[in-house]
Homo-oligomer: A and B are copies of this chain.
Amino acid sequence: KRTGVSEIIYGEGKNVEQIEHIIDDMFQHDQKEIFISRVSQEKANVLKNIFPKFTYNELSKTFYWKEDETLINSGKIVVVCAGTSDLPVAMEAVDIARFLGNDVDLISDVGVAGIHRLFSKLDQIRHANVLVVVAGMEGALASVIGGLVEAPIIAVPTSVGYGANFHGLSALLSMLNSCSNGVSVVNIDNGFGGGYMAHSINSLANKKSGIE
């Protein structure tokens, strides 16, 4: 896996030395794109000194570098998130989808409790090839958007909430039981998985439009 063009690492539970070692190793294999998720601020402070050409996103905790930033896929991936507390997860989706070569929009603070804010973004939402919908608490946003668009939706439940939220169970179950068609779900707080799946779908759309 660790040779080729783009390389993705799950940073959680790896210390600075291990991550440094992995990056060095990739450079030796002439890697041109490296993406590491879930790097804490403390680790990033050290790593940024060692690898100054990398970017660190403080919100999403991703640490990455890409020699050639040309888009690979055309068509928008739109990441929509309910509240500001869901932003770290949404941003992880944005980061990985962009890193993989997609054109990504982020729309935030459009939770269902103020549905007019969602409607004011409807054109942008309807324009998407694929949508990633990120929401915690009751996770209703995926169903509402699902009823408004034809595009495939990847729903990402977050652990934002407390009490009977049970660390994201509430949003997870909501999204799995969506009464809207064309909605599928990834793990709680798995912004990475949502962004990757959106990329996988968008790549198919691009490949097909090229070939057939």
- Report which A residues bind B (CB closer than 8 A): 1, 8, 12-14, 74-75, 82-85, 111-115, 129-130, 137-140, 143-144, 146-148, 150-152, 154, 157, 159-190, 193-194, 196-197, 200-201, 203-212
Contacts and interface: CB of A to CB of B under 8 A. Distances in A.
A149 to B, nearest CB: 10
Given A82-B179, A163-B167, A183-B193, 4 more contacts: A113-B180, A164-B177, A182-B197, A209-B210
A82 B193 CA distance: 19
A186 B179 contact: no
A143 B138 contact: yes
A141 to B, nearest CB: 8
A172 B165 CA distance: 11
A108 to B, nearest CB: 14
Given A82-B179, A152-B204, A174-B174, A163 B139 contact: no
A186 B197 CA distance: 14
A142 to B, nearest CB: 8
B201 A188 contact: no
A178 B138 contact: yes
A201 B190 CA distance: 21
8 contacts: A82-B179, A139-B140, A154-B184, A163-B167, A164-B172, A166-B173, A181-B197, A204-B204
Nearest to A117: B1
A184 to B, nearest CB: 4
A111 B201 CA distance: 24
Nearest to A130: B204
